[in-house]
């Protein structure tokens, strides 16, 4: 098997790198759990552009400072002590720290504190209380510059115009307005959409009354209480979603006539810049066809279909339309239709102008346009699947310019003019740096250079390389060696796996994407290996969709290619290999343990899917189709059906309030093991959902690491 070493960390004594043999500190379980803020590289708080100005602002202690390209010094624009004086003049308690201020224009900003919305005028140093939201208000969406707001209370939508609050919907239990729908699939993160002119607000209405209520039990009460979750499992009845449009002038709601079937998916909600038309992408339940439709915002009437996309396996729109400024007649659409996610420039009537980007790489985010609408800005993996860099593309010529000069994974914010960018990045040897860039690809100023937070810690050497899948596809791997590594010794291995869609474990970011938990295991004497198999993210359609209808098979084949590589290394103890994963990774961990018991001595699985028929409709049917159309696939991928193959040590961990991978998954597997006379270890975190966060995560890490210590 061909082994192509791409990156090797082996730095001299005292360097900033990851092989810090001169240092002696080791991670505690608390450190590995990520609860020690001192171990995270310092960034810049509230870094943003001052509205449409080429001026950037950031918080520093009790101040917000403003800087300009070409100017070395930053000026104070907000002083917390002065802000507190203004708050006290309104009979409101002082703040202990600077609130999160967002800019309305060059002279004013707004912030929320304790459900109160304030407007701050910079020149006059005047603070105005705009409105007070009810304490149970959620999903607050503020429209600039008017500071009108739409929000939800429980399952209904409300509107505020200063102190005037209006209830927009009056729905029964089981019908939800103004919130995210389709279980946050298809890129959906909210359910309120203001029109550009601020005179209308669109919102999702989700009818879940027909969906089975799944019983979650809260055991923290003296008498345990039911906390039902409406959970549509694959093949079962799903919820029905429509889109309403509330007109502030007429105080009336119309619903888009999106038609039948009622259980179709609505996403990519977008407004035309003139606020007269609204758009949504519609997918059938089988997710193999997407139509981008236009509707009249005043009447809800269907206007036209702009275009459609069809795929044999599935279509997955994740982004809205991005209308070009200074040209209300064209927009950008992100599509994977040629095999990789790229930018397409369309006329507003749906006629394709041109495909703006091409190649065997993917666009990962859209950043916006310059003020004149001549260029579009985006993030992409153009240099490497492990990197994310910022680029501009000329809408007429298609010329692409790389903006971020440093290798790594970047987060970039382009100014309104399109001339400058604020960029924060890390790579394998840079914990975090923030630069002011010109969009021609030059760094103008380093705004913040974080110290290495691990400079006093003893870490093992990390390498990133590729091996080949059975079909020759390169697969990225990461290997962390134990501290004080001796190539003459043999070491046990922990394989850390995820393996599913929309995830990438190995990146050209700080520590190559490895978290402190993995390095904690290396400090305890384990080789820690990770492989991004086919089916994972940022490698294109064919790479991702090869797992369709038979989850686990291809992923496991690729993981075993990694095992073959490990066994070829003289310092690997091939009799002591374990595997650990959570969620999809928990599914993979059990799958590998059941199907390759001679290889994996120990397995740990957290929150595991054990049968895809118990998983939610949108995700499950996208990757597996329905149980009715793919019965053999569901039977073959069910870990419950394979429980009889269990040999050796397996620990399953689950939160009993998990609303994502419901507790039934692991309990059903446990019951089958009992039926088959198979022994395993099982641990429940009461009150926790799909993972164990916060203080108790250190307990989880102790539990997992001690299991490997005792059994591997």
Catalytic residues: 583, 658, 690
Give the burial string for 383-396 (b: 16+ CB within 10 Å, else e). bebbbbbbbbbebe
The residues pairing with 465 across neighbouring beta strands, listed in sequence order, are: 5, 477
Residue 19 per-residue DSSP state? -
CA–CA gap between residue 231 and residue 237 (Å, rounded): 10
Residue 672 per-residue DSSP state? H
CA–CA gap between residue 524 and residue 483 (Å, rounded): 8
CA–CA gap between residue 42 and residue 406 (Å, rounded): 19
CA–CA gap between residue 115 and residue 683 (Å, rounded): 39
Reference 225, options 679, 695, 657; nearest CA is: 657
In 3-state terms, what secondary structure has residue 388? strand
- Is residue 472 a contact partner of residue 479, using CB atoms and an 8 Å limit? no
The residues pairing with 279 across neighbouring beta strands, listed in sequence order, are: 270, 294
- Burial of 91 per CB tally in 10 Å (0-12, 13-18, 19+): exposed
CA–CA gap between residue 648 and residue 592 (Å, rounded): 12
CA–CA gap between residue 605 and residue 666 (Å, rounded): 9
CA–CA gap between residue 495 and residue 129 (Å, rounded): 54
- For residue 594, what are the contacts with CB-CB under 8 A and spacing of at least 6? 639, 642, 643, 645, 646
The residues pairing with 467 across neighbouring beta strands, listed in sequence order, are: 475
Two tokens at 324? Answer: 């070009």
Backbone angles phi, psi at 562, to 5 degrees: -65, -40
Backbone angles phi, psi at 359, to 5 degrees: 130, 170
Q: How far is CA 138 from CA 92, 133, 176, 201, 683, in A?
A: 22, 9, 13, 16, 34
Two tokens at 54? Answer: 């080429």
Q: How far is CA 684 from CA 121, 224, 311, in A?
A: 52, 16, 41
Q: How far is CA 30 from CA 323, 354, 524, 544, 700, in A?
A: 46, 52, 15, 35, 10
H or E element, residue 389: strand 389-394
Q: How far is CA 192 from CA 150, 244, 351, 590, in A?
A: 7, 10, 28, 40
- For residue 503, what are the contacts with CB-CB under 8 A and spacing of at least 6? 536, 537, 584
- Is residue 66 a contact partner of residue 77, using CB atoms and an 8 Å limit? yes
């Amino acid at each position: 098997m061909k082994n192509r070493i791409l990156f090797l960390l082996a730095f001299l004594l005292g360097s900033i790198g990851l092989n810090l043999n001169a240092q002696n500190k080791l991670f505690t379980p608390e450190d590995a759990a990520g609860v020690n803020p001192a171990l995270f590289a310092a960034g810049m708080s509230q870094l943003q552009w001052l509205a449409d100005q080429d001026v950037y602002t950031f918080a520093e202690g009790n101040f917000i400072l403003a800087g300009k390209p070409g100017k070395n010094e930053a000026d104070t624009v907000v002083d917390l002590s002065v802000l507190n004086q203004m708050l006290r003049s309104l009979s409101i308690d002082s703040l202990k720290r600077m609130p999160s201020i967002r800019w309305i224009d060059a002279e004013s900003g707004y912030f929320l504190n304790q459900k109160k919305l304030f407007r701050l005028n910079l020149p006059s140093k005047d603070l105005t209380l705009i409105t007070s939201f009810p304490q149970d208000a959620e999903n607050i969406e503020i429209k600039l510059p008017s500071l009108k707001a739409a929000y939800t209370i429980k399952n209904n939508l409300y509107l505020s115009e200063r102190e005037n609050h209006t209830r927009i919907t009056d729905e029964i239990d089981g019908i939800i307005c103004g919130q995210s729908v389709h279980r946050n699939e298809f890129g959906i993160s909210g359910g309120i959409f203001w029109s550009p002119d601020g005179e209308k607000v669109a919102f999702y209405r989700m009818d879940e009354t027909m969906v089975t209520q799944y019983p979650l039990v809260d055991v923290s009460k003296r008498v345990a209480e039911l906390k039902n979750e409406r959970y549509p499992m694959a093949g079962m009845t799903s919820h029905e979603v429509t889109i309403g449009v509330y007109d502030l002038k007429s105080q009336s709601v119309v619903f888009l006539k999106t038609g039948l079937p009622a259980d179709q998916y609505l996403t990519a909600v977008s407004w035309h810049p003139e606020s007269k038309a609204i758009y949504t992408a519609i997918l059938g339940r089988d997710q193999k066809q997407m139509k981008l439709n236009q509707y009249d915002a005043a009447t809800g009437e269907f206007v036209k279909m702009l275009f459609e996309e069809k795929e044999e396996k599935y279509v997955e729109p994740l982004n809205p339309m991005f209308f070009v400024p200074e040209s209300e007649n064209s927009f950008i659409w992100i599509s994977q239709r040629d095999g990789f996610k790229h930018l397409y420039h369309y006329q507003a009537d749906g006629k394709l102008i041109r495909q703006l980007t091409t190649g065997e790489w993917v666009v990962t985010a859209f950043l916006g346009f310059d003020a004149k609408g001549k260029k579009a800005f985006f993030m992409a993996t153009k240099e490497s699947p492990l990197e994310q860099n910022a680029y501009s593309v000329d809408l007429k010529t298609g010329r692409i310019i790389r903006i971020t000069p440093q290798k790594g994974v970047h987060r970039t914010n382009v100014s309104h003019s399109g001339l400058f960018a604020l960029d924060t990045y890390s790579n394998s040897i840079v914990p975090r740096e923030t630069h002011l860039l010109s969009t021609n690809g030059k760094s103008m100023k380093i705004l913040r250079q974080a110290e290495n937070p691990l400079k006093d810690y003893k870490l093992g050497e990390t390498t990133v390389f590729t091996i080949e899948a059975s079909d020759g596809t390169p697969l990225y791997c990461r290997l962390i060696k134990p501290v004080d590594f001796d190539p003459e010794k043999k070491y046990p291995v922990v394989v850390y796996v995820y393996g599913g869609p929309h995830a990438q474990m190995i990146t050209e970011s700080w520590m190559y994407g490895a978290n402190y938990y993995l390095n904690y295991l290396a400090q305890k004497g384990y080789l820690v290996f990770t492989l991004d198999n086919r089916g994972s993210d940022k490698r294109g359609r064919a790479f991702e969709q090869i797992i369709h209808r038979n989850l686990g098979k291809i992923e496991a084949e690729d993981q075993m290619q990694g095992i073959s590589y490990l066994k070829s290394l003289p310092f690997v103890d091939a009799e002591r290999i374990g595997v650990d994963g959570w969620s999809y990774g928990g599914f993979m961990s059990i799958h590998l343990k059941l199907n390759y018991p001679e290889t994996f001595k120990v397995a740990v699985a957290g929150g595991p899917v054990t049968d895809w028929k118990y998983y939610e409709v949108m995700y499950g049917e996208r990757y597996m189709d329905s149980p009715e159309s793919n019965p053999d696939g569901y039977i073959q991928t069910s870990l419950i059906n394979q429980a009889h193959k269990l040999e050796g040590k397996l620990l399953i961990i689950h939160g009993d309030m998990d609303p994502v991978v419901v507790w039934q998954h692991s309990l059903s597997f446990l019951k089958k093991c009992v039926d088959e006379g198979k022994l395993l270890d099982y641990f429940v975190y009461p009150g926790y959902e799909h993972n164990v966060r916060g203080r108790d995560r250190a307990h989880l890490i102790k539990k997992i690491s001690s299991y490997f210590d005792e059994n591997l």
